[in-house]
Amino acid sequence: MYKEIIKPTLVLIIISVLVGTLLAVTYNVAGIADLATAGLSQADLEELKPSVMPAASSLKNAKVSVEDGSLLGVYADEGGSGTAIHIVTKGYGGDLKILVGVDTNGAVTGAAVTESAETPNLGSKVGEPAFIEQFVGKSGALAVDKDGGEIAAVAGATISSRAFTDGINKALEIYEQVKGEL
């Protein structure tokens, strides 16, 4: 009885508990916890600021109550010139994460792609300034020229361009909900 049941169970329990607690210790001691939820680190924000919100002084992580599957983070500008909203949308090759700058009256100040799985030098062209500049100053629901909107899609990458535009609309939508709490 002992040999066949108790010993194996005991050994497996000891091993899993040891591994589990060691991991838990390293996780808490090394403070990985706060690293994980930070989303965009301060360094990333500084780097993206020029293309997202040139006028802003410095972007700080702001906690908001809005819960949305595609919302990754909200970063308010201390100078009060606007907010940057970090969203994820479904691109052609996979997730497409965009940081969108919105000024106080809800118009786009700029945007930057933080993570993309689009096909290299085709879908990924949506991240280039030439395409993004079309959104600056605009607000409300935007659409690609193929869908009757005024945004000129990147040649041959309609799906990526449509995904990027949906992302911008999503960010503007969230801004409306979040505006009160900033």
- Footprint of another protein on this chain (CB under 8 A)? 3-5, 7-17, 19-33, 35-36, 41, 69, 90, 92, 94, 115, 119-122, 159
CB-count exposure of residue 100 (10 Å: 0-12, 13-18, 19+): buried
Residue 8 beta carbon to another protein: minimum distance, rounded to whole angstroms: 4
CB-nearer residue toward another protein: 92 or 175: 92
For 127-160, what is the HEC assignment?
Answer: HCHHHHHHHCCCCCCCCEHHHCCCECCCCCCHHH
CB-nearer residue toward another protein: 76 or 153: 153
Residue 11 beta carbon to another protein: minimum distance, rounded to whole angstroms: 6
Residue 96 beta carbon to another protein: minimum distance, rounded to whole angstroms: 13
CB-nearer residue toward another protein: 136 or 159: 159
Q: What angle do CA 140, 106, 149 make, to 5 degrees?
A: 25
CB-nearer residue toward another protein: 41 or 57: 41
Residue 25 beta carbon to another protein: minimum distance, rounded to whole angstroms: 6
CB-nearer residue toward another protein: 14 or 55: 14
DSSP-derived secondary structure for 67-116: --TTEEEEEEETTSSEEEEEEEEE-SSSEEEEEEEEETTS-EEEEEEEEE
Q: What angle do CA 154, 156, 159 make, to 5 degrees?
A: 75
Residue 19 beta carbon to another protein: minimum distance, rounded to whole angstroms: 4
| Structure tokens given for 177 | 């909900």
